[in-house]
Structure 1
Amino acid sequence: MKPLYVHPDIAYAKTIDTDFYLNPAYFEASKENIFAPSWQYLGETGMLNDNTTVYPITLLPDYLHEPLILTRDNAQQIHCLSNVCNHRGNILIPAACKAKHLRCQYHGRLFQLDGRFISMPEFQGVQNFIPENNHLPELPLYRLGNLLFTQLKPGPSPDTYFKEMMQRVYWLPIDQMVYRPDLSATYEVNAHWALYCENYLEGFHIPFVHPQLNAILNFKEYTTEIFPYSNLQVGVAKAGDVCFNIPADAPDAGKAIAAYYFWVFPNMMFNFYPWGLSLNVVEPKTPSHCTVRFIAFVYDESKLGSGAGSGLNTVEMEDEAVVQQVQKGIRSRFYHHGRYSVLHEKGTHHFHRLLANSFTNA
């Protein structure tokens, strides 16, 4: 793999080399350099209910393929554990269930719901077997309202990723958000995962690609703010359109904000609307294909179907069409780099810098 470099000054910078999208070696290396140390969405606390104390999850199933379990123990503590028995590698829990312990169905090894080893049948005579060294690996767990996130290997703290977002929208009733599967959707996109993300990270294309959204947002007041591992695009409503009721002590008091578009490195978008949150998770599959999950959480149903948070499927179709054209274009022998709009592409420049630095600092 050749070195990646993006100049820190957007006025001088070229976009990241197309080799990042096209060379399968980068796609493979991104698993450990980008995704494993980042915070990834697991699900929401409602998955662990009265009838379910154990919930298996495969994290990024077509890419990282990491089998995990969410458990809720007798003290109502939630844990994120490896779902692989440390005896012979069997998947411990194949389906969500209510259980007091975790028992491997292969040879009967038994664990507490917090991952602590309990027992193993027929292991008499095994030398140097230390029970304390046979607990299931427990992963860090970060909770944002009812949303759960984890990190597969040591990396920056969750505050590094989420602090600015939570400070900005602290006044939203995030704890009251209700998951709505009927409003959620999954899309298959024939494009590299990073191309999808970088399209999200600039409002430059809105007047050209999204006529319905452009009629709602005031493009002249559209802004982008950069943070260490996230950034924010603020969509201001045109006169009369639906916007947030922002308290007087909040940073955006007095502004007609129609949407907060928070992106969290590398693959999550938190789209806050007056009705709730559309969490978009981009899951890599191949260097030319990704899955995008729109996961909806509602706290004010009366505002559904209005403002910037309406017509999300239409906006998605418009984004997919242009991103899939870019996927074709980057294969051209005549294209390797572009330049950035200083006014409108700060978010994309920031993303490319983080990508390049992930390999430089590896």
Structure 2
Amino acid sequence: MSRYAIDPDVTSAATLDARFYTDPEAWTLARERIFARSWQWIGDLQDLREPASLSPRTLLPGCLDEPLLLARDESGVLRCLSNVCTHRGNLLVQEACRARHIRCGYHARRFDLQGRMTFMPEFQQAKDFPSANDHLVQVPLFDFHGLAFASAQPAAPGAEFFGPIAERLHWLPWDRLQPDPSRSRDYAFDAHWALYVENYLEGLHIPFLHAGLMATLDFGHYRYELQRYSNLQLALAKPGEAAFEPPAGSPEHGQRVAAYYYWVFPNLMLNFYPWGLSLNLVQPLGPARTAVQFRSYVMDPDLLGQGAGGDLDRVEMEDEAVVVTVQRGVRSRFYRGGRYSPTREQGVHHFHRLVAEFIG
């Protein structure tokens, strides 16, 4: 995998070797070394407000496909558990519900809401039973302002991935963000997941692909900031466009911000607009197939349809069209990789360095 090493100097570095987008071995390594070790969004916590609540989830559908179960016990403690019975592997909970215990519908094995097995018929003669292996595995869980993230084997605590966002947007009225299912969208297209991420992480293409978005932005002051496991694209608004006006204490105090575009390694976008949050989860389905979930959390309905976040469907279609053509291009026998724009592609360089780090 040394061919995927990336020079830390963006002014000298070359991009990822093109084989990363086509090699089945690279795909397998990414699944286990990148996605299983990062924090993946598993939904919000709207249906888990009350004690004794259960809600089944799936860790990165189409890629990891790990069945999980969010369980809030009667004392109010929230846990993420494996949703697989430790007897014969049956899925335990099929839909959100309220319950005092978790019961397998196959052979009646029962667990409490902390995941401990408490009952199993016809096992009186089994030796050394129950053991720790009979309890449900507890999976690492991170609650970020009501958004739930889980990881099979996190490379670092959730706070290291999301802390810079919470610190930067400490003034945001998080409690006003409410899910709007009517604005949910699911897209699928024929391209490698990393090509979609790369497109998101650079502003170089905006003047050439997104005329509508460009009309709302003060592109001359578009800038980038890199954190350990995330990065920010900060977009200021043109006069008259919808914008945040951050309070004193914010680095943007006195500026009109059209959007805070946050990316969290490897496949999450948190796009903060004056109307609310557009959360985008990139789901790898194969070396040349990707799905993207768009989920909206609205805090000011009066601003919907305005500014940088006003026509997300159109921007998405423009982005998908180009990454599909890039997918065809990276398969060319004549393409091995390119170079980075030091002024506009720092985010892509940052992403590639993390890919190389996790795979390597």
If the length of structure 2 is used for normalisation, what is the TM-score?
0.97
Measure, in 2, the Cα distance between the counterparts of 1:73 and 1:322: 47
Q: Is the 8 A contact 2:52 2:113 kept in 1?
A: no
**Equivalent residue, structure 1, for 2:231:** 231
Measure, in 1, the Cα distance between the counterparts of 2:209 and 2:154: 39
Measure, in 2, the Cα distance between the counterparts of 1:6 and 1:143: 32
Q: CA 1:24–1:145 in 2, change beyond 3 Å: closer, same or farther?
A: same
**Equivalent residue, structure 1, for 2:103:** 103
Alpha-carbon offset, residue 94 of structure 1: 2.1
Measure, in 1, the Cα distance between the counterparts of 2:43 and 2:114: 18
Q: Is the 8 A contact 1:258 1:308 kept in 2?
A: yes
Measure, in 2, the Cα distance between the counterparts of 1:266 and 1:151: 12
Q: Is the 8 A contact 2:233 2:260 kept in 1?
A: yes
Measure, in 1, the Cα distance between the counterparts of 2:154 and 2:108: 31
Q: Is the 8 A contact 1:274 1:303 kept in 2?
A: yes
Measure, in 2, the Cα distance between the counterparts of 1:154 and 1:301: 36
Q: Is the 8 A contact 1:51 1:97 kept in 2?
A: no
**Equivalent residue, structure 2, for 1:337:** 337
Measure, in 1, the Cα distance between the counterparts of 2:169 and 2:189: 30
**Equivalent residue, structure 2, for 1:314:** 314
Give the secondary structure class of the aligned counterpart of 1:3.
Answer: helix
**Equivalent residue, structure 2, for 1:284:** 284
**Equivalent residue, structure 1, for 2:353:** 353
Task: For structure 1, list consecutive stretches of 5 or more residues without a partner in the other structure.
Answer: none
Measure, in 2, the Cα distance between the counterparts of 1:49 and 1:146: 10
Alpha-carbon offset, residue 105 of structure 1: 1.1
Give the secondary structure class of the aligned counterpart of 2:3.
Answer: coil
- Structure 1 residues 79-90: aligned runs within 5 Å: 79-90=79-90
Tell me the matched-pair count.
360
**Equivalent residue, structure 1, for 2:155:** 155
* Percent identical residues: 49
Q: Is the 8 A contact 2:52 2:74 kept in 1?
A: no
Larger mean Cα displacement after TM superposition, 227-236 or 170-179: 170-179
**Equivalent residue, structure 1, for 2:69:** 69
Letter paired with 1:203: G
Q: Is the 8 A contact 1:117 1:131 kept in 2?
A: no
- Structure 1 residues 212-251: aligned runs within 5 Å: 212-251=212-251
Q: Does 1:20 align with 2:23?
A: no
Measure, in 1, the Cα distance between the counterparts of 2:153 and 2:118: 25
RMSD of aligned alpha carbons: 1.4
Measure, in 2, the Cα distance between the counterparts of 1:247 and 1:6: 39
Give the secondary structure class of the aligned counterpart of 1:333.
Answer: coil
Give the secondary structure class of the aligned counterpart of 2:97.
Answer: coil
Measure, in 2, the Cα distance between the counterparts of 1:49 and 1:165: 24
1:188-223 Cα offsets, whole Å, 9 max, x none, are 121111100010001110000000000111111000
Measure, in 2, the Cα distance between the counterparts of 1:82 and 1:175: 29
Measure, in 1, the Cα distance between the counterparts of 2:37 and 2:2: 22
If the length of structure 1 is used for normalisation, what is the TM-score?
0.96
Q: Is the 8 A contact 2:52 2:73 kept in 1?
A: no
Q: Is the 8 A contact 2:8 2:353 kept in 1?
A: yes
**Equivalent residue, structure 1, for 2:296:** 296
Measure, in 2, the Cα distance between the counterparts of 1:358 and 1:129: 39
Measure, in 2, the Cα distance between the counterparts of 1:133 and 1:290: 35
Alpha-carbon offset, residue 64 of structure 1: 0.6
Report runs of 4+ in structure 1 exceeding 4 Å deviation: 49-52
Alpha-carbon offset, residue 93 of structure 1: 1.2
Task: For structure 2, list consecutive stretches of 5 or more residues without a partner in the other structure.
Answer: none
Alpha-carbon offset, residue 67 of structure 1: 0.4
Give the secondary structure class of the aligned counterpart of 2:63.
Answer: coil
